[in-house]
Amino acid sequence: MKRVDTIARVRRAFYVHGWSVKKIVRELHVSRSTVRKILRSDETDFSYERSRQPLPRIGPWQGQLEQFLSSNASKAPRERLTLIRIFEELQALGYEGGYDAVRRFARPWSQTRGAVTAEAYVPLYYAPGEAYQFDWSHEVVLISDVTVTVNVAHLRLCHSRVMFARAYMRGIYDNMKTAVEAISSGKERQYNRRFLQMCSHYLVQPVACTPASGWEKDQV
């Protein structure tokens, strides 16, 4: 968690507050090489994954696993088995390997199948009032002769394709479990790792409300 939080603080210090690398190193107590790595990669987390993962236990079971995955993908969404259930089905047949090996095999298999499905894409039709699409971006703008990076919320109505966009400097959140894992004293929070990565990517400074203090977020 500290690693993701550090990346978020470095990114906001550089892109939002305009700090130099030297000042970031001094104020945030992060090495110069780490700061440069964060700013050059534009990543919100660093993790190591093998480029090629050996599958010694899963090898003899690949054919059976592919059958399970293919059969499962052809079912209606509500009828599909989770990957852990498919793992249990494989175990019942005698598979002695671990769940991670099944997961590592299923991920590229799903990606390959998705690419093939995408070639047969059929445009979607949406009825009026049925749905909208939402996403974020960060844009560099000039406010009062100062160049700043702002976060822009994009909303498009699927039927009419009317676009709505608005920029925000800060996000105020409830203490929902999808964002906050633990509440400390005052405004201190332990944020969810994935939520913190999203805030880091869009350079948002998250602010959580005080529990049972509805007046702090009285508009929703």
pLDDT digits (tens, 9 = 90+) for 47-63: 655 555 555 567 788 88
Q: Please give the Cα distance from 59 to 51 (Å, whole number).
A: 18
Q: Which residues of 201-215 are buried (b: 16+ CB within 10 A; e: fewer)?
A: bbbbebebbeeeeee
The pLDDT of residue 184 is 77
- Which amino acid, one-letter code, is at 9? R
Q: For residues 49 and 46, what is the distance between their CA atoms, to the nearest angstrom?
A: 10
Per the structure block, which two tokens stand in for 115?
């690419």
Tokens found for residue 72: 């499962």
Residue 6 has pLDDT above 70, yes or no: yes
End-to-end Cα spacing for the chain: 29
pLDDT band per the 50, 70, 90 thresholds, residue 23 = very high
CA dist 107 → 39, 114, 137 (Å) = 29, 11, 27
Nearby residues of 25 by Cβ (< 8 Å), 6 or more positions away: 31, 32, 35
Per-residue model confidence as pLDDT tens digits over 120-134: 555 667 788 777 777
Beta strands in 42-145 (DSSP E): 132-143
Predicted TM-score (pTM) above 0.85 = no
Long-range contacts of residues 67-74, Cβ cutoff 8 Å, at least 24 apart = 69/106, 69/109, 69/110, 73/110, 73/113
Q: How far apart are CA 32 and CA 131, in angstroms?
A: 46
Angle between helices 32-41 and 21-28 (to 10 degrees): 120
